[in-house]
Amino acid sequence: MLRFFLILIIFFFNSNLLAEENDYFLMLKYNKVNVRYGPNKDDQIKFVYKKKYLPLKVIDRKENFRKIIDHKNNNGWIHISQLKPSKSLIIMDNKTLFKKNSIFSKPIIKLEKGKLVLIKKCKESWCKIKTNKITGWLRTENVWGIN
């Protein structure tokens, strides 16, 4: 009986790990994207995103649709043609943008919570990002859009 419970616990623990590993980020390809209640073009529209490049976490898939969740916990289904590989982040806490990938580097600007930025490249726990006409390095803690 004990062996059965151990196997059951291991199974559930491993399946949760696999589910989280399969989650990945995509971003909106267009300025206006419909989010539906279900994975079908005939399903009712739940809401509309109006923010190109918004990063979204994919949590499920059915044929050509992806079930997504955003940084505010809104979720629904989007057709894959409306999405592309993510190269953007949402700042989840006020952060400092640095000239180089070091906290000892020169601070460039403060980024406010909720700011959408584009990723140039990432290295370890840092990403080089662009916002408006400013480019710099950002620590990747407390951001939404990368695993």
Asked if domains 2-85 and 88-144 share a fold, the reply is yes
pTM value surpassing 0.75: yes
**How do residues 12-66 score in pLDDT, each as one tens digit?**
454 444 445 689 999 999 999 999 999 999 999 999 999 999 999 999 999 999 9
- Domains in the chain: boundaries: 2-85, 88-144
CATH 2.30.30.40 for domain 2-85: yes
Q: What is the mean pLDDT of the chain?
A: 90
- Cα(136)–Cα(125) distance, rounded to whole angstroms? 14
Is residue 27 within 8 A of residue 85, CB to CB? The reply is yes
> What's the first-to-final CA gap in the chain, in angstroms?
38
- Ranges assigned E (strand) in 21-99: 24-28, 33-36, 45-49, 55-62, 65-69, 75-79, 83-85, 88-91, 95-98
pLDDT at residue 1 is higher than 90: no
Query: What are the residues facing 98 on neighbouring strands?
Result: 107, 137
**How do residues 76-131 score in pLDDT, each as one tens digit?**
999 999 999 999 999 999 999 999 999 999 999 999 999 999 999 999 999 999 99
Is residue 86 within 8 A of residue 52, CB to CB? The reply is no
Fold of 88-144: SH3 type barrels. (2.30.30)
